[in-house]
Amino acid sequence: ISYSNVETIQMYAFSNLTSLRGLYLKGNRLFTLHNFTFEKLNDLNFLDLSYSNVKLIETNAFYGLKSLKKLTLIGNRLKTIFDLTFQHLPNLLTLELEASQIESVQTDAFVGVNNLTSLSMKNNPLNLIRSLTFAGELKFLDLSFMNLKSIGPEMFAYQENLVTLILSENQIEILANNTFERLFKLENLYLTSSGLKIIELNAFSKLYSLDFLLINENDLRVIRNYTFRDLAKLTELNLAYSNVETI
C-alpha cells in the first residue's frame, strides 16, 4: 500500500495479518503513527514508512513488533525523536532516519533497541547530540550532512563496538582531545568536509583498531607532532585539499 495517499491507519488495522513479514507504507500522508497501530504483527521483519509525511510517533506506535529487524523512516517530518519512541523494538538491527527534518533527539530516544547494529541519521538539521544512550551493539553510525558543531566523548560513551563512524559534511571546527577514547574497535572514520580547523593533540587517542581515516577537504593548516601516534593499524590516511601548511 505504498503511494496510496493513506492519511490514517486505525488502531489494530493489521491485527489479522499475523503471518506478515514485510509491510510497505512508503509515500503516504500518515502525519501521525498512533499507538498500537501494528499490534499483533509479531512476525514482521521489515517496515517501510519512508516519505510518508510522518510528524509524530506516539509512544506505543510500535508496540507488538518484537521481531522487527529493519525500520525505514527516511524522508519524513519528525522534528523531534522523543524518549522511548523505539522501546518496543528489542530485536531491531537497522534504523534509517535520514532526511527527516530532525532537529532534536531526546536523551532516552533509543532506549530499548538493545540489539541495534546500524543507525543512519544523515541529512538532518541537528546541531547537537548530547549522548546516544542505548546498549553498545552499534557497529555502523552515519551522522553526516548535519549541522553538528561539536562532538565529545560523552556522545559516544555507549558505542564501544562501533566499527564505522561517518561525520562528514558538518561544522565541527575543533576535534577535541579524547573525543573517540571509548571506540577501541573503530576501523573506519570519515571526517571529510566536516569544518575542521583544529585537531587537538589527543583527539585520536585510543583508536587502536583504526584502519581508514578520511579528514580531507577541511581547513586544518597545521598537523601537530604525534597527532596520529595511537593509530598503529592505520593503512589509509587522506588529507587532500585540507590546506595543510605545516606537518
- Closest by Cα among 180, 97, 176 to 144: 97
81 and 58 Cβ atoms separated by less than 8 Å: no
DSSP character at residue 143? -
User: Whole-model pTM?
Assistant: 0.93
- Closest by Cα among 36, 126, 46 to 88: 36
Cell of 180: 573517540
- Local mean pLDDT, 10-residue blocks, the chain (247 residues): 74 82 93 91 96 95 96 96 94 97 90 93 86 75 93 85 96 93 96 94 95 95 88 95 76
Q: Which residues pair with 105 in a beta bridge?
A: 81
Residue 157 has a pLDDT of 83
